[in-house]
A and B are shown apart, each in its own frame.
Chain A
Amino acid sequence: MEFFVPNEILLDVFNYLAGEEIEKGELVCKRWREFLLRCYKILPFRKIDKLEVKSDGSVNVELIAKRRISSKSGFYRWNSCIDNKPHIVRLLNRCITDRLQLHYLNNGYECQQHRVNSALRDIYKISGRNVLASSCYITFWSTCRIEDVDFQELFSSLISAAEVSLQVQSIESLNFFAQNVSSILNSCLASRVYVSVWNVQARTLHYTQHLSLLQMANEISLNHCEISLPICVSSYGFFETQIQIFDEIAKPETLFGTVNMLYETQAFRTKGRHVVDFNLQGLHERLLVKGLKWNVKQGLFSPNAMFNSAIDNIYTYQRKDGWVLRMTFLHRKLSLKLEVLPPSKAQILKKLVPAHAHYLKYSIESEDSE
């Protein structure tokens, strides 16, 4: 018996199937194969929980797709030569993922560097354009020469991602961002962009770097973006530099409006084998020595009380021209909010959180003992 079904019906049948079931149909017969090859653009996607595009710095690209299949994690791994672009495009065209992860690593052999870089750029561009991803995470490894990356090109290719998260791993990368953040983010259509910096310890930041960071936050606020900078601040120097910058800067309005620093409680405690010589009691005393006023109405300061208290501890510092730096410890949220308030708003905003606030988040991490 000859099997004939109109394409219209085949399409409606396949529309009930998941991406991987559809691809299987190619192996049934010639007609199904031809039909599927023509219709992939309108058929359901292959749903992938996480898609990673990795390169080992040579000409190989590894695509790792993770899919949870009936409570077990399924992995599809594919190593492919990046010269084989049609393959990759075809594959990526059929995917939809919640998380597209691009690892930017440009440490190819010297002789191949140029070729690898340009090929990698192509792959990231292809991935960004062809994979429907609700969020995209891009990691720039410490070996990556970030100035080689064409961010405008990269971002403009991430058309589907509503959230883009960039992770940079070196202070040089951070500086690059700080200098180019406006132009970089203007080319991104995502409604939210997170930038996080790893392996950068706050106390290694010198004054200028610290300043550029805080000014970067100001630039970011113009772009409706959120920045997360998980910097280790297990030293008082970070806060002292912050106060110094606030005190010395000619135009405080170029600094951050509001900074949310998310800290881990262990950063302030003696934990395990690490004896942390940085604690809340010490910070409290240092802040008072630096001239900050502590606005808490009841009791004496106690680090334990701070962790358990429902009362938020507020420190304020006022410049001669009336600008105010306000630091609020929000213990229930394990965060420290820093606000720079102009003289006109210093009084009005005492009890208000700015509605327009775009937060610069700092996460205070426990620093390994050195």
Chain B
Amino acid sequence: MATESANGVSSPELNERDVVITTNDNRNFTVKIGVARVSKTINNMIQDLGESLDLSSGIPLPNVDGPIFEKVLEWCEEHKNAPEIKVEQDPHTRERKWFTMTEWEEEYFRKFLSHLWDLAMAANYLEIPSLYYYTCQKLAERIKGRTPEQIREMFGIEDDLTEEEKAEIRRTNVWCTY
């Protein structure tokens, strides 16, 4: 804590200052530190760099591209003061309990429906639990009730299983209805 306060890392003033974040397509994003810190990965970088942090030269994000980071920032802006989410699962079935999303969150995912996998990967890399688990839930929602063909079509997955393999799967999964 002493180091943090010495660097002013946790001070409210620092949260209001801007930092430049560079994505893998060399796009620079000027972001309020308070917003960027929704990502635990970025927050750790800020803490690790301490006083040596150069706000203008930027933090590099080699695993995220600009268009996706833009969407992630939108989420971070909305969730900058949100409490940590709690991931729970049914103790018997091990099934994750579904979150109840706000109107804004529902609209957010509606807007970026075709980028859910990218969002999940970015949120995973950037360690943004709320975005990550909510996106996973949205993806599960998309899979639920759809046939394997519909899932392939929806996500652009190549059908690389032979008919024999499919027959074998149906035979072994005796209660499979697809």
Cα(A29)–Cα(B159), bound, Å? 6
Cα(A8)–Cα(B157), bound, Å? 18
Cα(A9)–Cα(B143), bound, Å? 14
B residues in contact (CB < 8 Å) with A: 89-90, 92-96, 98, 117, 120-121, 124, 132-133, 136-137, 139-141, 143-145, 147-148, 151-152, 155-161, 165-166, 169-170, 172-178
**Is A14 part of the binding interface, using a Cβ–Cβ cutoff of 8 Å?**
yes
Contacts A26-B169, A27-B166 known; A15 to B124 CB distance under 8 Å?
no
Contacts A9-B124, A16-B95 known; A29 to B169 CB distance under 8 Å?
no
A78 (CB) vs chain B CBs: closest residue:
B174
Are the C-beta atoms of B178 and A27 separated by less than 8 Å?
Answer: yes
A43 (CB) vs chain B CBs: closest residue:
B94
Are the C-beta atoms of A21 and B148 separated by less than 8 Å?
Answer: no
Are the C-beta atoms of B172 and A87 separated by less than 8 Å?
Answer: yes
Contacts A16-B136, A45-B94 known; A65 to B175 CB distance under 8 Å?
yes
Chain A contact patch, size range: 35 or more
User: Could you show 25 A-B contacts with beta carbons less than 8 Å apart?
Assistant: A3-B156, A3-B157, A5-B117, A5-B120, A9-B121, A12-B120, A13-B139, A15-B95, A15-B136, A16-B136, A17-B95, A23-B173, A23-B176, A25-B143, A28-B148, A28-B151, A29-B158, A29-B159, A30-B165, A33-B169, A44-B95, A44-B96, A65-B175, A87-B174, A91-B174
> Which interface residue of A24, A47, A76 has the most chain B CB atoms within 10 A?
A24
A residues in contact (CB < 8 Å) with B: 1, 3, 5-6, 8-9, 12-21, 23-30, 32-33, 42-47, 65, 76, 78, 80, 87, 90-91, 96, 132, 134
A20 (CB) vs chain B CBs: closest residue:
B175
Are the C-beta atoms of A15 and B173 separated by less than 8 Å?
Answer: no
Are the C-beta atoms of B96 and A26 separated by less than 8 Å?
Answer: no
Residues in A neighbouring B94, C-beta threshold 8 A: 15, 42-45
A32 (CB) vs chain B CBs: closest residue:
B157
A79, chain B: closest CB distance, angstroms: 9
Q: A28-B152, A30-B165, A87-B174 are in contact. List 16 more A-B contacts (CB 8 A).
A: A3-B155, A3-B156, A3-B158, A6-B124, A12-B133, A14-B140, A17-B95, A20-B175, A25-B148, A27-B166, A27-B170, A44-B90, A46-B175, A65-B175, A91-B174, A91-B175
Are the C-beta atoms of A9 and B160 separated by less than 8 Å?
Answer: no
Residues in B neighbouring A90, C-beta threshold 8 A: 172
Are the C-beta atoms of B161 and A30 separated by less than 8 Å?
Answer: yes
Residues in B neighbouring A33, C-beta threshold 8 A: 161, 165, 169
Residues in A neighbouring B98, C-beta threshold 8 A: 16
B64, chain A: closest CB distance, angstroms: 14
Cα(A116)–Cα(B117), bound, Å? 51
A50, chain B: closest CB distance, angstroms: 14
